[in-house]
Amino acid sequence: MQIKLILAGYGTVGKEFVKLIHEKSSFIQKEFGLELILVGIIGRDFKLYHPEGLCIDTLLKLGGGSEALHKYIEQHSVRNEKMNGHVFVESTPTNLENGNPGKQYILQAIENGMDIVSISKGALVTSWKEISEAGRAANVRIRYSGATAAALPTLDIGQFSLAGCKIERIEGVLNGTTNYILTKMHEDNTSYAEALQQAQQKGIAETNPSLDVSGMDSACKLLLLSNSLLHTEYTLEDISIEGIENLSKQDIRKAKEQGKQFKLLARAYTGDAGEVRLEVQPYAVDSSHSLASVIGTEKGITFYTDTMGAVSSIGGASNPRGAAAAALKDVINLYRKNIL
Residue (124 or 157) nearer to its own copies, CB: 157
Give me the catalytic one of 15, 121, 184, 221.
Answer: 221
The values of phi and psi at residue 167, to 5°, are -85, 115
What is the chain's Cα-based Rg? 21
The values of phi and psi at residue 169, to 5°, are -160, 145
Task: Please name the residues in contact with 32: beta carbons below 8 A apart, sequence gap of 6 or more.
Answer: 332, 335, 336, 337, 338
Residue (51 or 259) nearer to its own copies, CB: 259
CA-nearest of 265, 239, 240, 274 to 166 is 274
Count of positions on this chain that bind its own copies (CB under 8 A): 48
Binding to its own copies in span 121-150, by CB under 8 A: none
Instruction: Name the segment binding its own copies (CB under 8 A); options: 5-13, 53-61, 85-93, 292-300.
Output: 292-300
DSSP assignment letter at 93 = P
Binding to its own copies in span 156-175, by CB under 8 A: 156-157, 159-166
Binding to its own copies in span 13-32, by CB under 8 A: 20, 24, 27-28, 32
Q: Does 310 bind its own copies (CB under 8 A)?
A: yes
Burial class (CB in 10 A: 0-12, 13-18, 19+), 27: exposed
Q: Does 151 bind its own copies (CB under 8 A)?
A: yes
* C-alpha torsion 67→73→74→75, nearest 10: 110
Binding letters toward its own copies, positions 312-331, x by CB under 8 A: xxxxxxx--xx-xxx-xx--
Instruction: Report the C-alpha gap between 115 and 86 in whole angstroms.
Output: 6
Instruction: Report the C-alpha gap between 318 and 304 in whole angstroms.
Output: 24
Residue (18 or 69) nearer to its own copies, CB: 18
Coil vs helix vs strand at 72: helix
Q: Does 274 bind its own copies (CB under 8 A)?
A: no
Least distance CB 325 / its own copies (angstroms): 4
Which residues on neighbouring strands pair with residue 172, listed in sequence order?
A: 266, 301
Binding letters toward its own copies, positions 229-268, x by CB under 8 A: ----------------------------------------
Instruction: Report the C-alpha gap between 287 and 296 in whole angstroms.
Output: 15
Task: Check: CB of residue 256 under 8 Å from CB of residue 183.
Answer: no
Residue (24 or 256) nearer to its own copies, CB: 24
Specify whether 254 is catalytic. no
Residue (102 or 158) nearer to its own copies, CB: 158
Catalytic residues: 221
Instruction: Give residues in contact with its own copies (CB under 8 A).
Output: 20, 24, 27-28, 32, 151-153, 156-157, 159-166, 288, 290, 292-293, 295, 302, 307-318, 321-322, 324-326, 328-329, 332-333, 336, 339-340
